[in-house]
Amino acid sequence: MKTLNYALLLAALCSTSCYSFRGSKGGGQTTAAATRQASADDILLPAGYQIEIVAEGLNYPTALTTDDNGGLYVTEAGYVYGDVFTTPRLLRLNNSQPEVIYSGDKNGPWTGVTYHDGSFYISEGGQTAGGKMLKVTRDGKASVLLDSLPGMGDHHTNNPVIWKDHLYFGQGTATNSGVVGPDNADFGWLKRFPTFHDLPCEDIVLAGVNFESNNHLGTGKANTGAYLPFNTASRPGQTIKGCIPCSGAILRIPLRGGKTEVVAWGLRNPYGLALDRTRNKLYVAENGADDRGSRPIFGAPDVLWEVKEGAWYGWPDYVAGLSLKDHKGFKAPGSAPLKPLLLKEPGEVPKPVAKLGVHSSSNGTDFSTSDQFGFKGEAFVAQFGDMAPNVGKVWKPVGFKVVRVDPETGVVTNFAINKGKHDGPASWHRARGLERPVSVTFSADGKSLYVVDFGIMLMRDGQVLPQPNTGVIWKISKKS
Amino acid sequence: MEVMQKIRLIIILALFVSLQAACHRNRTAALEGRPVINSERLKNGQVMYMRYCESCHPGGLAGLGPGILGTPSFLKRFQVRHGLGTMPAFKKETLPKKDLDDIILYLKAVKKASK
């Protein structure tokens, strides 16, 4: 009997809990055809709402803004994970073909756009030449407001928000958790920029923790420390000088020109920066760490933060306000226990407003300002969806929907999802609904919510396979 | 707790986790008002669920971790306190009994609303 019990236990553990034996079932891990036929019929919304298609066939759309007359403008990325380069574009959506307002250089991804006082402000990710902030007039004349941002790595220069006569934006980190490693070779950028690494906003003191990996820039083994180039070891007590611009931060520049300032730092990939006009506060949706690279982190949720001026949010030694040193659950199965990279913490880490799905890739965010639309004062967050197994295994697809978040309670509620038993992209469901929502934008009158759906991105045999011209713009409004 | 009793609980938990994925249904109705949060305990349970559980089990369904709507309450409690597999344990100092009770109540309401 005792033997039988132990045998049953082993079988049960292996079937349910034994992480290393279990496969991954991410939303991109489908054998479905990579073509798209979108339809609102396969999408669920709260009662009284409707969704319709505004545009389709877009090439990796990332963001939408409106002008004074309600005209719709969309950015196309120009760079996609999988190291795919296309032309980044600003398009005006007309009834027929989209009109190209401006085409950019091979330095995507364009991650965001906002319209202000007759011009468009675009965040250029910076995969080949560093991140930039562009200003584009309505007739397509572009100027560079800011350049040389550290956007050549895993994460880029993110979407702009105009507030208090400043242009605010998020700047992502170069790496997953502070250390350049084999995952960065897989991304493609390590060979392009062999000395690129994370940059702190203020002076930091390292604990001297180093990580051994294969040498992807030569032969043999590499030994790499935090905030240092690949194959450069750190030593205990080593100071890394802070600089501006830095990575993993919210930065701002005066609209009329001037110095770049740090608003907050210690963030990993602060993608979804948004102004809550009801509370007159800034919030940001941050992509949490992945189970990959030299310092993998398990079970890190995405987070909605209130942006507090001067705060340090804990990266690379905290996840969602929790210390990696004290919370053993973040240790990836099969990897070494996590040690802090910093000898001294630069500040007290704030508490998250809300925790969002692990690997959900919670990206573009906007706040409802209208009683007519409903949920006034709540954040709406586009969840691009997991990129498993490259970011870590998942039991079922995570994200691929729009959620709303009550900043007062942290309660997350589905707002737009695909029909079916589980979350997942339309391609995974073999249906025609949402694929990968990447951003959301309310119309100027607040009555409609536009959802930018990036399109199909498959994950097969370790490869990221984005499918061109599968992007869709959806519009959600109240039924009259 | 006796060792064999613990083992039996783990086995039952594992079997329920394996089977429960087949138990919930297609989501076809409108989303709002499910579940109805009509008591202080449910309200607290929802907030605590969001703080400790939602990111791995969104809406009680599978995500990073398995779906948990079909798992019996006593097994959920066991898993929360002991942390089987990759899930960390949440001790009483972190998650007091009252909050865990409210989470269980909230999950029952979510399960009922999903039928």
Nearest Cα residue in chain B from A328: B88
The ipTM (two decimal places) reads 0.93
Q: Do the beta carbons of residue A448 and residue A429 sit within 8 Å? A: no
Say if residue A13 is exposed, middle or buried (CB neighbours under 10 Å; 0-12, 13-18, 19+).
Answer: middle
Q: Tell me, what's the pLDDT at B22? A: 47
Is residue A331 assigned to a domain?
Answer: yes
Which chain A residues in 39-68 lie under 8 Å from chain B, judged by CB atoms? 44-48
Is residue A6 assigned to a domain?
Answer: no
Q: Give the residues across from A137 on adjacent strands.
A: A119
- The tens digit of pLDDT for each residue in A207-223 reads 999 999 999 999 999 99
Mean predicted confidence (pLDDT) in A138-155: 97
E strand intervals along A299-428:
301-306, 318-319, 322-323, 354-358, 362-367, 379-383, 401-406, 411-418
Nearest Cα residue in chain B from A26: B63
Q: Tell me, what's the pLDDT at A9? A: 46
Is residue A33 assigned to a domain?
Answer: no
> Could you give phi then psi for residue A183, rounded to 5 degrees?
-65, -30
A234 Cα to chain B: minimum distance (Å): 31
CB contacts, 8 Å: B31 with chain A? 44-47, 413-415, 417
Mean predicted confidence (pLDDT) in A1-17: 48
pTM passes above 0.90: yes
Can you say whether the dihedral through the CA atoms of A173, A177, A182, A186 is positive or negative? negative
Q: Which domains does chain B have, with CATH numbers?
A: 3-23+37-113 (1.10.760.10)
Q: Which residue range forms the structural domain that includes residue A216? A: 39-478
Rounded Cα distance, B56 and A469, in Å: 32
Measured CA distances, A15 to A23, A49, A299, B78 (Å): 10, 41, 20, 18
Q: Tell me, what's the pLDDT at B25? A: 58
> Alpha helix (H) ranges present in A255-389?
none
Mean predicted confidence (pLDDT) in A436-451: 97
Q: Establish how many alpha carbons lie within 13 A of residue A216's alpha carbon, considering only the half-sphere containing its beta carbon.
A: 23
- The tens digit of pLDDT for each residue in A341-379 reads 999 999 999 999 999 999 999 999 999 999 999 999 999
Q: Do the beta carbons of residue A331 and residue A299 sit within 8 Å? A: no
Q: Which residue from A153, A436, A365, A181 is spatially nearest to A268, judged by alpha carbons?
A: A153
The pair of structure tokens assigned to A54 is 């505004």
Q: Tell me, what's the pLDDT at B57? A: 96
Whether A399 shows a pLDDT value over 60: the answer reads yes
Q: Do the beta carbons of residue A102 and residue A142 sit within 8 Å? A: yes
Nearest Cα residue in chain B from A375: B32
Is residue A24 assigned to a domain?
Answer: no
Residue in B14, B27, B28 closest to A12 by CB: B14
Question: Do the Cβ atoms of A414 and B15 come within 8 Å?
Answer: no
Task: Kindly report the CATH number assigned to the domain that includes residue A393.
Answer: 2.120.10.30
**H-helix or E-strand spanning residue A428:** helix A426-429
Measured CA distances, A154 to A71, A187, A287, A311 (Å): 33, 7, 12, 23
Rounded Cα distance, A188 and A292, in Å: 15
DSSP string, A173-185: -SSSSS---HHHH
Q: Tell me, what's the pLDDT at A369? A: 97
Mean predicted confidence (pLDDT) in A418-429: 94
Q: Tell me, what's the pLDDT at A257? A: 87
Rounded Cα distance, B88 and B81, in Å: 9
- The answer, for A327 touching chain B at a CB cutoff of 8 Å, is yes
Q: Do the beta carbons of residue A252 and residue A260 sit within 8 Å? A: yes
> Could you give phi then psi for residue A197, rounded to 5 degrees?
-160, 180
> Could you give phi then psi for residue A100, rounded to 5 degrees?
-80, 115
- The tens digit of pLDDT for each residue in B15-56 reads 555 555 444 556 655 566 578 899 999 999 999 999 999 999
Q: Do the beta carbons of residue A417 and residue A434 sit within 8 Å? A: yes
Q: Do the beta carbons of residue A389 and residue A464 sit within 8 Å? A: no
Can you say whether the dihedral through the CA atoms of A42, A46, A47, A52 is positive or negative? negative
Whether A441 shows a pLDDT value over 80: the answer reads yes
> Alpha helix (H) ranges present in B1-115?
3-20, 40-52, 73-82, 97-113
What's the total number of domains in chain A?
1
Is residue A321 assigned to a domain?
Answer: yes
Residues of chain B whose beta carbon is less than 8 angstroms from a beta carbon of chain A are 4, 7-8, 10-11, 13-15, 17-18, 24-33, 46-47, 50-51, 54-56, 58-59, 61-67, 83-88
Question: Do the Cβ atoms of B86 and A394 come within 8 Å?
Answer: no
What pLDDT band is residue B14 in, cutting at 50, 70 and 90? low
Residue in B26, B46, B64 closest to A419 by CB: B26
Other beta carbons less than 10 A from residue A339's beta carbon: 12
Q: Do the beta carbons of residue A143 and residue A134 sit within 8 Å? A: yes
Question: Do the Cβ atoms of A299 and B51 come within 8 Å?
Answer: no
With b for 16 or more beta-carbon neighbours within 10 A and e for fewer, the A154-183 pattern comes to bbbbbbbbbbeebbbbbbbbbbbbbbbbbb
Q: What SS3 state is found at B59?
A: helix
Question: Do the Cβ atoms of B84 and A46 come within 8 Å?
Answer: no
> Could you give phi then psi for residue B42, rounded to 5 degrees?
-65, -40
